[in-house]
Amino acid sequence: MTQHSHTPPRTLDVDEALDAQAAVAGDAEAFGRLVERHALVARRVAIAVVRNQEDADDVVQDGMLAAWRAIARFDPQRPFRPWLMRIVSNAALDALRRRQVRRTEEIPARAESSEVRPDQATDHALLRARLDQGLADLPEKQRVAVVLFDVEGYSHAEIADILGVPEGTVRSYVFHARRALRQTLAPFMEAT
Amino acid sequence: MSESPFESRPDETLGRLLREHLTGPDSAAFIVRLRRALRDALVESPWESLSRWSRPGLVAAGVAAAVLGWVALGGRRTVEPAAPASVSAQVIVAGEQTAGDLLIAAVVEGR
For A50-100, what is each residue's pLDDT tens digit?
999 999 999 999 999 999 999 999 998 899 999 999 999 999 999 999 887
Same domain, B46 and B25: yes
Q: How far apart are CA B111 and CA B102, in angstroms?
A: 11
pTM above 0.90, yes or no: no
Q: How far apart are CA A42 and CA A148, in angstroms?
A: 10
A117 touches chain B (CB under 8 A): no
Mutation pick from A68, A178, A185, A192 vs chain B, by most beta carbons of B within 10 Å, is A178
Same domain, B66 and B105: no
CB atoms within 10 A of CB B31: 16
pLDDT the model gives residue B52: 54
For B46-100, what is each residue's pLDDT tens digit?
555 556 566 667 778 888 888 888 888 875 555 555 555 555 555 455 555 566 6
DSSP, residue by residue, A116-133: PPTT--SHHHHHHHHHHH
Considering its fold, how many domains does chain A have in total? 2
Contact B15 A150 (CB under 8 A): yes
Contact B17 A127 (CB under 8 A): yes
By CA distance, what is A191's nearest residue in B?
B13
For A70, the domain range is: 1-112
Q: How far apart are CA A68 and CA B101, in angstroms?
A: 87
Considering its fold, how many domains does chain B have in total? 2
Of A112, A132, A151, which closes a domain? Answer: A112
